[in-house]
Amino acid sequence: MTKHFPSIRCVLIVSASFLFYTQTALPAPTPEPELSFDIWDWTAPAQNPDVFRVWIEDLAGLGFTRIELSVPWRVLEPDPGRYDLRWLEERLETCEEADLGIRLRINSYYGGATPDWYAGDRWLDAQGNSVPQGPPSIMDERFWDHYGPLCEKNRRAGQGPEYPL
């Protein structure tokens, strides 16, 4: 009985052809460009849910793919350790309905976003004087004791209802 084995040359040619075909036949998909728009929490579109909805619908119609939204700390944590995420959830739902991605920025100081109850150190200028709006010092552990858990609550809210708050 005679056994027939393909020659090594034949195997290499077939293998090389297959590799060449798979490398050239499937070009990498071109990612869609992202087009984002910032909405700051102290502006009318962020403060008024009806205006926010109109802006979101208009931006989606113009081809925007993501909203970058600042979220006021004072609204999300009105009392120490008590979170009220309705402001955020309402805006997340509006963006989801318009099929827009969202990136959140938790505003801890600008436009009066620091909660009145916050008792930590504040930023000072080079001469040791307080600065306008009195933003919290990120060097104070009391800031992180509140701000860190708030960030976690916001992260979980953005992941959907399967993550209980």
Mean pLDDT along residues 26-50: 83
Domains and CATH numbers, the chain: 32-158 (3.20.20.80)
Rg from Cα positions in the chain: 27
Please tell me the distance from the alpha carbon of residue 124 to that of residue 140, in angstroms, as a whole number.
Answer: 12
Query: How far apart, in whole angstroms, are the C-alpha atoms of residue 75 and residue 128?
Result: 29
List the one residue out of 150, 43, 57, 50 whose CA is nearest residue 90. Answer: 50
pTM of the model: 0.69
pLDDT, tens digit (0-9, with 9 covering 90-100), for 91-140:
999 999 999 998 888 888 877 888 999 898 888 889 988 888 788 888 88
